[in-house]
Chain A
Amino acid sequence: MNIFIEYAIWIYLLPFVAFVINIFFGKRLPRQGDWVSVGAVLISLALSVAMFVGMLLNYDPDFTQEISFSWISLGSFNVSLGFLVDNITITMLLVVSLISSMSHIFSLKYMEGDVRYSRYYAYLSLFTFSMNGIVVANNLMLLYMSWELVGLSSYLLIGHWYEKKSASDAGMKAFLTNRVGDIGFFIGIMLLFTAIGSVAYTDIFAGVANGKVVGSFLGLSILTWAGIGLFMGAMGKSAQFPLHIWLPDAMEGPTPVSALMHAATMVAAGVFMMVRLFPIISPDALIFVAYIGGITAIFASLIAITQNDIKKVLAYSTVSQLGYMIMSVGTGAYVAAFFHLMIHAAFKANLFYGSGSVIHSMHHALHKKHDHDTDPQDMRNMGGFKNKMPITYWSMLASTLAISGIPLFSGFLSKDAILAGTLSFASHHPQHFLLPIFGFGAALITAFYMFRLIFMTFHNEPKRPDLYEDIHESPLEMTFPLVLLGALSFFIFYTIPYFNPFSDQGWFTQMIQAKTSLVAGAPTAHEIADGIHHSHVTAMILSLLVAATGILLAWQMYYKRNLSAESWANKMGVLYNLSLNKFYVDELYERFIYNPFYKLAGAVAHLDWDLYDKYVIDGFGKVTNWISKISGITDYDGLDQGIVDGFGRVAQQFGYRLKGLQTGRLQNYILFAAVGMLLIIIIQTII
């Protein structure tokens, strides 16, 4: 077996082993078994790094290794499972293992003394295992199973503190919202399976290339419907509008879980799947994908402006960045989407660890003051933490510069590529001029709200001087991930062996090259790359402009206070309220989906209970009762008393009568015998 495949299988299975050990024996192990999970994920990380180095040494963009074995074999129906390792897999495995090990390490302190410490680590391992399953799968079946496992483990981790009603509700909301998307995903898989007869990527790709998927439905080809179905799965997992509602609520989970979920595992799954399956998504479906992504990007960033909860801001920022990636897939620049996915994983995980560090220290300060009413996540209670928490501050600042798209930082490279992709798409299709507007608008707003977060948390005078003295830098277990991931926000790690901060040329662009779409009539990879290349400079200048504008606005409003945020909020009025209340999406769902559904369910329940149960079911009962009563009378009074007891009585009477003959005197018996004998002789003589 190839060494890469072997490593991939180990990386895949080790967290699962840790999960099994911890879920069954975790409580009895020393330190409640955290070292099992941490150890497993660290070995995974070491193997991922080894694979990654191997990939760089190979330096082969077309590197692909595959292994598969038969799983279900029923006559002509065959499903085989298997693993696929190519450069995308290797890169993604490194991202997942890295972020996951950081989460494991960060949790050592953050979750110290938790009631369900060992179970928490078991679930973290399960989460990592599921995500790795999505990454290494070579077929849609294993992908779908891991997909559902990711849903399950996110449900378990979001609801980790299930004593809190909001946490258990958030877990359920995440799970159910994901189900909506997953139905579409499953329909997409089944459409492809019925047309092609296999779930393996290679077979599906070949089938689509040979035009095996034919037919149309409601004016769109079946392939388009399959693409939209698959994308629905990504909409659920990657929190795209209108299925984004679960993600901000998922902040109820522990912060390291949020970091893991927002950076590498859960939400990355949708984008990763779209990247994997890009060559079979038809151009019509891609337009749908692009618009959903663009709308999500601008919509979520608008909400993030007005949120005061530090984690909520980051949550909406994640939704917005995912919108970017999805939009990029839609415009054909799917390698840029994957690039952004990887870069975003590093800086977004870091931002979450930073916020976790801030919340941790706020929590302790509040605890010391015996203040249990103040929300430790509310940025309105912070300010001036820069001097008290220097490591957290500098590391978060690096990531903020990265997410805003400032040169020298990683986000600049990928954001630039995505925006160039949208520009080039719009220049080829002028009717889709809205997409670049969404993109650049979201870039502006992102820069603004991220610096708002930084200024409100770390700069100016403290808003709660009483707490300020108790704010301390977090312990080493928590600052280590911050330093490591903060360093990864610099561009250099992504452009090796080149050192040009304005170009994304580097190992990534050479290792991962776009494949041409297999759908007839779609633009080739070369055309898309050409377009991006032409729009590159324009996009760079524009994105620098919007980022600078956003940062300046935030500077004026929240650092210099030359512009009053309050008066702007008043001026905006309706818009401000819309943003603050998240555009009332939850309320709209409540009004137009949940409530009518409850009413319908109530009506059906009424029909079922008051009509069907009461009359039909109970009617059967009554008739049966009546019949059995009659049958009881016949059986007991007629059969038992008359016939069965009758036989008994007759036998008893005979016995009673005949008893007198048994005198016990021998001579009587002889007399009877003699008389009987005589009678027989007499009768014979007469006859």
Chain B
Amino acid sequence: MGSLHNYLMIASVLFSLGIFAVMTRRNGIAVLMGVELILNAANLNFIAFARFGGMNISGHIFALFVIIMAAAEAAVALAIIINLYNNFKSVNVDEARQLKQ
């Protein structure tokens, strides 16, 4: 307990789960939650490297920035999903494929 390796393992599992959620969920909200998982995996890495890898305080600062950015991103993404719903009466991301000719 307490080695960098373990934290990285957990972070990569978290990341893979996030990717999986983004790729497989049809529901836009679920996709967004997958994105949150990926961001948190990254945050975990920053903190782990701050503690063991020598990034020190800048790791913490980066993690804080990511949290702030995630909040902003969630606000924009939710706005997109509301627009999606207004246009298609559904939050299913597969419906939004009109760019394909």
Interface residues in chain A, defined as those with a beta carbon under 8 Å from any beta carbon in chain B: 662-667, 670-671, 674
B-chain residues with CB within 8 Å of residue A670 when the two chains form the complex: 19, 22-23
A666 contacts B100, CB within 8 Å? no
B98 contacts A664, CB within 8 Å? yes
Interface residues in chain B, defined as those with a beta carbon under 8 Å from any beta carbon in chain A: 19, 22-24, 31, 93-94, 96-101
B100 contacts A662, CB within 8 Å? yes
25 inter-chain pairs at a CB distance below 8 angstroms, sorted by A residue, are A662-B100, A662-B101, A663-B97, A663-B100, A664-B97, A664-B98, A664-B99, A664-B100, A665-B93, A665-B94, A665-B97, A666-B93, A666-B96, A667-B22, A667-B23, A667-B24, A667-B31, A667-B93, A667-B94, A670-B19, A670-B22, A670-B23, A671-B23, A674-B19, A674-B23
B-chain residues with CB within 8 Å of residue A667 when the two chains form the complex: 22-24, 31, 93-94
**Known A662-B100, A664-B98, A670-B22; 9 more pairs at CB < 8 Å:** A663-B97, A664-B100, A665-B97, A666-B96, A667-B24, A667-B31, A667-B94, A674-B19, A674-B23
* 3 nearest A-B pairs in the assembled complex, by CB-CB distance: A664-B100, A664-B97, A667-B23
Q: How far is the CA of A503 from the CA of B57 in the complex (A)?
A: 145
Q: How far is the CA of A508 from the CA of B16 in the complex (A)?
A: 135
B-chain residues with CB within 8 Å of residue A674 when the two chains form the complex: 19, 23
Measured CB to CB, the nearest residue on chain A to B96 is: A666
Measured CB to CB, the nearest residue on chain A to B20 is: A674
Q: How far is the CA of A246 from the CA of B78 in the complex (A)?
A: 111
Q: How far is the CA of A667 from the CA of B93 in the complex (A)?
A: 9
Q: How far is the CA of A662 from the CA of B100 in the complex (A)?
A: 7
Interface centre among A662, A666, A674 (most CB of B within 10 A): A666
Q: How far is the CA of A202 from the CA of B59 in the complex (A)?
A: 113
Q: How far is the CA of A563 from the CA of B101 in the complex (A)?
A: 123
* A567 CB to nearest chain B CB (Å): 119
Q: How far is the CA of A665 from the CA of B26 in the complex (A)?
A: 10
Q: How far is the CA of A674 from the CA of B31 in the complex (A)?
A: 15
Task: Say what secondary structure dominates the interface of chain A.
Answer: helix
Q: How far is the CA of A517 from the CA of B100 in the complex (A)?
A: 110
A-chain residues with CB within 8 Å of residue B98 when the two chains form the complex: 664
Q: How far is the CA of A455 from the CA of B19 in the complex (A)?
A: 139
* A664 CB to nearest chain B CB (Å): 3
Measured CB to CB, the nearest residue on chain A to B94 is: A665
Q: How far is the CA of A663 from the CA of B101 in the complex (A)?
A: 9
* A671 CB to nearest chain B CB (Å): 6
Q: How far is the CA of A663 from the CA of B97 in the complex (A)?
A: 8
* A149 CB to nearest chain B CB (Å): 82
* A194 CB to nearest chain B CB (Å): 87
Q: How far is the CA of A662 from the CA of B97 in the complex (A)?
A: 10
Measured CB to CB, the nearest residue on chain B to A677 is: B19
Q: How far is the CA of A667 from the CA of B25 in the complex (A)?
A: 9
A-chain residues with CB within 8 Å of residue B101 when the two chains form the complex: 662
B-chain residues with CB within 8 Å of residue A664 when the two chains form the complex: 97-100
A-chain residues with CB within 8 Å of residue B23 when the two chains form the complex: 667, 670-671, 674
Measured CB to CB, the nearest residue on chain B to A671 is: B23
* A499 CB to nearest chain B CB (Å): 122
Q: How far is the CA of A674 from the CA of B23 in the complex (A)?
A: 10
B-chain residues with CB within 8 Å of residue A666 when the two chains form the complex: 93, 96
B-chain residues with CB within 8 Å of residue A665 when the two chains form the complex: 93-94, 97
A-chain residues with CB within 8 Å of residue B96 when the two chains form the complex: 666
Q: How far is the CA of A665 from the CA of B100 in the complex (A)?
A: 9
A-chain residues with CB within 8 Å of residue B24 when the two chains form the complex: 667
A-chain residues with CB within 8 Å of residue B93 when the two chains form the complex: 665-667
* B18 CB to nearest chain A CB (Å): 11
Q: How far is the CA of A671 from the CA of B24 in the complex (A)?
A: 10
* B52 CB to nearest chain A CB (Å): 23
* A10 CB to nearest chain B CB (Å): 90
B-chain residues with CB within 8 Å of residue A671 when the two chains form the complex: 23
A-chain residues with CB within 8 Å of residue B31 when the two chains form the complex: 667
Q: How far is the CA of A663 from the CA of B99 in the complex (A)?
A: 9
* A294 CB to nearest chain B CB (Å): 108
* B88 CB to nearest chain A CB (Å): 14
Q: How far is the CA of A674 from the CA of B97 in the complex (A)?
A: 20
Measured CB to CB, the nearest residue on chain B to A667 is: B23
Measured CB to CB, the nearest residue on chain B to A666 is: B93
Q: How far is the CA of A190 from the CA of B52 in the complex (A)?
A: 114
Interface centre among A662, A663, A664, A671 (most CB of B within 10 A): A664
B-chain residues with CB within 8 Å of residue A662 when the two chains form the complex: 100-101
Q: How far is the CA of A666 from the CA of B100 in the complex (A)?
A: 11
Q: How far is the CA of A674 from the CA of B19 in the complex (A)?
A: 9
* A678 CB to nearest chain B CB (Å): 11
Q: How far is the CA of A469 from the CA of B98 in the complex (A)?
A: 114
Measured CB to CB, the nearest residue on chain A to B24 is: A667
Q: How far is the CA of A667 from the CA of B94 in the complex (A)?
A: 8
Q: How far is the CA of A665 from the CA of B22 in the complex (A)?
A: 12
Q: How far is the CA of A317 from the CA of B22 in the complex (A)?
A: 126
Q: How far is the CA of A631 from the CA of B58 in the complex (A)?
A: 73
Q: How far is the CA of A666 from the CA of B26 in the complex (A)?
A: 10
B-chain residues with CB within 8 Å of residue A663 when the two chains form the complex: 97, 100
